């Protein structure tokens, strides 16, 4: 896939291009998606060889040899990733930048969604590769009557202010047993769960599903009621290890190993879901944010040893850091009680950080059972601020109101962003970029920035006016009749 998510085929020996895709529906969808791609999926049955890839909210199938659309797949070669997500997904951002997982004639799809309150539901969907039709759906936020429904407030499944619990990092399939292992991310909004009190199954789980039907065989929740964006960050590894059974005799066990952002490897018997080493529910600090109830315990594996340091102390701050004393003082005055410290108004240290521990590159395992993990150790300092009340929002100009409700969470209330962490400052954006550029980013997203498909043209106009400093300041003078 190219940087603009355009698939192409090259001769692996010579590098010569064989085909590149220039279908107009794809190109339009591409312009819309503004996404990156981590690859394509290959499937074959006899002489029928296909490449599957995504663009925007679409899954496409093309002939592997020619790049021509497979017209019998879905609607002229494409099928909607929103097919099984219910009516609320219609105006929400749904893309997929991780390749799907093939089991026989099915492709099981990861999805990338908003991490805000506007997130679509993160159900797991399988599509038939021959027809493009939706084959099965597993509800990661269960519906009435389904297992796990009572771990959420009763209306959460309606997707009005909570969504996600999606798989974005990819999956692993045991073809012989017909089991697909699906790690899920947190529910959204990522950092406040006062409107989703409860354990929140099947967010932050390792799910073992019957690959044919999507039925749950077993699950393990890696983080209960996640309020720290501790998504399972990588596909699990299917491994075979020598392990002592309850009779003390070593035997070979087919296992599944899941790496995590918090630095632990969770290791289970692939069939039963039983942990190979005890995983202990460990008491964790409480939240001091109004309305929030952090889960009282979190599962901590007794083995293997964590691959990331789980405690940050003043001594760990690099002696080479020019501002070491300042960083030590920040650590000292922030809330920090280990890896599961809830966010606070005054600022909480998150360590390992939001990007791990492990990240989407995942782990590799050699046949002797040694696992290699590329692990980050990056501390974050995050504070949680109350959303403005509707009265306070009404005091703002229309553009500032859109900014505050949609952009400030990443670019900051003052528009200064956090460039060191990859969130650019938008102060003086008018000196660096033109409106068309900014409008395009808002509409299509870019890299880690999601698309804001649901903003109206009017809202975007006032937002641009605000960002480019030509919005009239007095709120009454520039009143936007639309609800923000
Ligand atoms: C979830 C976090 C997030 C939210 C919410 C968000 N952004 Fe961004 N934004 C980013 C990131 C990350 C980048 C850098 C993207 C890249 O270059 O890969 C970015 C880049 C940008 C840029 C490009 C800046 C430059 O110097 O090129 C603009 C403009 C921008 N965002 C505007 C907005 C506006 C306007 C909103 C609200 C509608 C918004 N963003 C909401 C994360 C976010």
Question: Contacts from 39-44 at CB under 8 Å and sequence distance 24+?
Answer: 39/1, 39/98, 39/99, 40/1, 40/7, 40/99, 41/99, 41/100, 41/101, 41/102, 41/107, 42/102, 43/102, 43/107, 43/129
Quote the mean pLDDT of the chain.
92
Quote the percentage of the chain above a pLDDT of 90: 80
Least confident range of 119-128, 194-203, 404-413, 469-478: 469-478
Distance of alpha carbon 316 from alpha carbon 83, whole angstroms:
49
Whether residue 354 has its Cβ less than 6 Å from ligand 1: no
Does pLDDT of 481 surpass 50? no
Tokens of 51: 């490449």
Distance of alpha carbon 200 from alpha carbon 186, whole angstroms:
9
CA of 464 to the centre of ligand 1 (A): 13
Give whole-number Cα distances, 459 to 204, 305, 426, 443, 482, in Å. Answer: 34, 50, 18, 12, 8
Whether residue 446 has its Cβ less than 6 Å from ligand 1: yes
Does pLDDT of 467 surpass 90? yes
Whether residue 441 has its Cβ less than 6 Å from ligand 1: yes
Pocket residue to mutate for ligand 1, from 446, 457, 464, 471, most atoms within 8 A of Cβ: 446
223: closest CA among 258, 172, 173?
258
**pLDDT for the residue 51:** 97
The answer to whether the beta carbons of residues 45 and 70 sit under 8 Å apart is no
377: closest CA among 412, 350, 401?
350
Whether residue 406 has its Cβ less than 6 Å from ligand 1: yes
The answer to whether the beta carbons of residues 162 and 196 sit under 8 Å apart is yes
Whether residue 432 has its Cβ less than 6 Å from ligand 1: yes
**pLDDT for the residue 483:** 36
Distance of alpha carbon 327 from alpha carbon 379, whole angstroms:
11
Distance of alpha carbon 458 from alpha carbon 480, whole angstroms:
8
> How many other C-beta atoms can be found within 10 angstroms of the C-beta atom of residue 405?
17
* Interval 396-415: pLDDT, tens: 999 999 999 899 988 988 99
Sign for the CA dihedral angle at 123, 93, 354, 286 comes to: negative
**pLDDT for the residue 369:** 80
Cis peptide upstream of residue 202 (ω within 30 degrees of 0): yes
**pLDDT for the residue 477:** 40
Q: Compute the radius of gyration of the chain from its Cα atoms.
A: 23
Give whole-number Cα distances, 415 to 6, 368, 404, 469, in Å. Answer: 33, 51, 10, 12
**pLDDT for the residue 32:** 53
> How many other C-beta atoms can be found within 10 angstroms of the C-beta atom of residue 30?
21
Does pLDDT of 446 surpass 90? no
Overall average pLDDT of the 425-431 stretch: 94
The answer to whether the beta carbons of residues 179 and 106 sit under 8 Å apart is no
Longest dimension (CA), the chain: 79
What's the burial of 356, exposed, middle or buried (CB within 10 Å: 0-12/13-18/19+)?
buried
Overall average pLDDT of the 440-459 stretch: 87
**pLDDT for the residue 450:** 84
CA of 449 to the centre of ligand 1 (A): 5
Give whole-number Cα distances, 271 to 81, 121, 217, 276, in Å. Answer: 29, 28, 8, 12
**pLDDT for the residue 374:** 95
Q: Which atom of ligand 1 is nearest to the CA of 403?
A: 37
The answer to whether the beta carbons of residues 99 and 173 sit under 8 Å apart is no
Give whole-number Cα distances, 437 to 124, 441, 442, 446, 464, in Å. Answer: 34, 6, 9, 11, 11
């Amino acid at each position: 896939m190219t940087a603009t998510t355009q698939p192409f085929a090259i001769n692996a020996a010579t590098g010569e291009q064989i085909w590149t895709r220039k279908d107009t529906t794809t190109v339009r969808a591409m312009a819309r998606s503004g996404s990156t791609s981590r690859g394509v999926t290959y499937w074959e049955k006899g002489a029928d060889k296909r490449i599957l890839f995504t663009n925007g909210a679409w899954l496409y199938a093309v002939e592997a040899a020619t790049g021509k659309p497979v017209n019998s797949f879905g609607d002229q070669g494409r099928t909607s990733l929103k097919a099984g997500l219910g009516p609320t997904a219609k105006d929400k951002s749904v893309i997929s930048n991780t390749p799907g997982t093939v089991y026989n004639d099915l492709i099981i799809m990861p999805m990338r969604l908003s991490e805000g309150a506007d997130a679509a539901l993160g159900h797991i969907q399988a599509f038939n590769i021959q027809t493009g039709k939706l084959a099965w759906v597993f509800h990661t936020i269960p519906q009435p009557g389904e297992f796990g429904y009572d771990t959420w407030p009763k209306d959460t499944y309606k997707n009005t202010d909570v969504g996600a619990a999606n798989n974005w990092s990819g999956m692993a399939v045991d073809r012989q047993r017909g089991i697909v292992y699906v790690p899920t991310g947190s529910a959204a909004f990522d950092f406040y769960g006062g409107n989703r009190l409860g354990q929140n199954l099947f967010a932050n789980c390792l799910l073992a599903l019957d690959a044919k039907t999507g039925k749950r065989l077993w699950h393990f929740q890696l983080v209960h009621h996640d309020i720290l964006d501790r998504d399972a960050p990588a596909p699990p590894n299917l491994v075979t290890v020598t392990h002592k059974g309850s009779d003390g005799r070593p035997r070979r066990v087919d296992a599944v190993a899941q790496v995590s952002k918090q630095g632990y490897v969770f290791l289970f018997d692939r069939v039963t879901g039983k942990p190979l080493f005890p995983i202990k529910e460990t008491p964790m600090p409480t939240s001091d944010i109004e309305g929030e109830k952090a889960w009282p315990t979190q599962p901590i594996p007794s083995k293997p040893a964590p691959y990331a340091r789980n405690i940050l102390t003043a001594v760990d701050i690099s002696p080479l850091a020019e501002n070491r004393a300042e960083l030590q003082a920040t650590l000292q005055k922030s809330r920090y009680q280990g890896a599961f410290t809830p966010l606070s108004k005054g600022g909480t240290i998150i360590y390992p950080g939001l990007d791990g521990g492990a990240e989407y590159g995942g782990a590799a395992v050699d046949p002797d059972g040694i696992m290699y993990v590329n692990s980050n150790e990056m501390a974050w300092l995050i504070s949680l601020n109350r959303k403005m009340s509707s009265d306070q929002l009404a005091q703002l100009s229309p553009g500032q109101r859109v900014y505050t409700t949609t952009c400030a969470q990443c670019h900051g209330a003052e528009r200064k962003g956090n460039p060191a962490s990859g969130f650019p400052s938008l102060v003086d954006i008018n000196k660096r970029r033109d409106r068309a550029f900014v409008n395009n980013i808002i509409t299509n997203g870019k890299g880690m920035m999601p698309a804001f498909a649901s903003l109206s043209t009017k809202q975007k106009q006032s937002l641009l006016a605000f960002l480019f400093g030509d919005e009239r300041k007095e709120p009454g003078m520039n009143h936007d009749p639309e609800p923000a």
